[in-house]
Structure formats: C-alpha cells, structure tokens
C-alpha cells in the first residue's frame, strides 16, 4: 500500500464485517484511492470489542460496521460500545444490507455518523471510501475521550 503523505491525518479504520467479498471490496477501494491508513478487520462484534479493548486499534479511529453478523450483530455491538466509557466516543458508520426502518432508527438512536445500504453503492466501494477519506480529513476525531482514564 502507498505511503501516507506527511500532512495526511492517520486515522485507523476498523472494518467489522463477516462477508469476505464486502471486506475485499473495501480493501480494493482503499488501495485504488491510494489511502494508506491502517485497516483492521474484525469478523463480528465480539472480535471488534476484543481489538478495541485490547488496544489493537490505534486512536483516532473510525468504525465501519455491518449489522448482520454471527455471534454479536451490529446493533448489539453499538449498544455495548456506547455503554463502555472508554469507547463511547467512537465514530461509527453502518454499512449493511438492511433497509429496515427499525434497524436504521436503532442505529441513529445509538448515534451513528451514517447509515449506508450496500445495495445503494453496489459492488463499488469507491464512493464510500471517498466519503470516509473526506470525513476524517475535515472532522477532528478524539484521540482519547476527555476526562476518562483507561482501565487497566
């Protein structure tokens, strides 16, 4: 992957996705746009929480989250994330096949930054990656939630 320019923000992208094809689509789009930011993939919510709590995901980070996954789905993951004082400030974009109004409402009630339906972007993840790249270049992301000490 190309080297990140010195003036670019280094934001880690945590992709929580059980579908290999969708994960490869995101990876290809990052490479095509020459985005060298770190990408870490978790296959479900449990693995994502282990990565986040085990400090395997460096701050600042964005989470790109599928809703329909085994073991722990996306909505349960978001509820757990928001209840954790160390992780409650995480920026989450939902990337899902679900067009359900209930899923969308639940995600936005949990303060996601955006809800993206996979069928709306098709197999081309370039627009999604362009959106994320613009987002993390403009928005200031927390390096650590102010006033919260890490648990040991």
The tens digit of pLDDT for each residue in 124-146 reads 566 777 777 777 666 666 665 44
Contact between 67 and 18 (Cβ < 8 Å): no
Q: Which residues of the chain are under the pLDDT cut of 50? A: 1-4, 6, 145-152
pLDDT at 53: 94
pLDDT at 137: 65
pLDDT at 108: 95
DSSP string, the chain: -PPPPTTS---EEEEE---HHHHHHHHHHHHHTT--S-EEEESSHHHHHHHHHTT-SPSSEEEEE-SS-SSS-HHHHHHHHHH-TTTTT-EEEEEES---HHHHHHHHHTT-SEEEEHHHHTT--HHHHHHHHHHHHHS---SS-TT-PPP-
Whole-angstrom distance, CA of residue 91 vs CA of residue 95: 13
Q: How many residues does the chain have?
A: 152
The structure's pTM equals: 0.80
Q: What is the percentage of the chain residues whose pLDDT exceeds 90?
A: 42
For tokens 């349960």, name the residue.
76
Q: Which residue ranges form the domains of the chain, and what is each CATH number?
A: 12-138 (3.40.50.2300)
Whole-angstrom distance, CA of residue 125 vs CA of residue 38: 17
pLDDT at 147: 40
């Amino acid at each position: 992957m190309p080297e990140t320019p010195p003036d670019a923000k280094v934001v880690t992208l945590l992709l929580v996705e059980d579908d290999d094809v969708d994960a490869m689509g995101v990876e290809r789009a990052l490479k095509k746009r020459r985005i060298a930011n770190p990408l870490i993939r978790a296959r479900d919510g449990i693995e994502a929480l282990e990565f986040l709590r085990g400090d395997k995901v460096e701050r600042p980070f964005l989470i790109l989250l599928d809703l329909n996954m085994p073991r722990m789905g996306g909505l349960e993951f978001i509820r757990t994330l928001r209840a954790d004082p160390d992780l409650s400030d995480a920026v989450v974009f939902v990337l899902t096949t679900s067009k359900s109004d209930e899923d969308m409402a639940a995600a936005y009630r949990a303060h996601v930054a955006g809800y993206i339906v996979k069928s709306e972007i098709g197999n081309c993840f370039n627009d999604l990656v362009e959106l994320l790249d613009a987002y993390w270049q403009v928005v200031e992301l927390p390096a650590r939630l102010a006033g919260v000490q890490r648990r040991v």
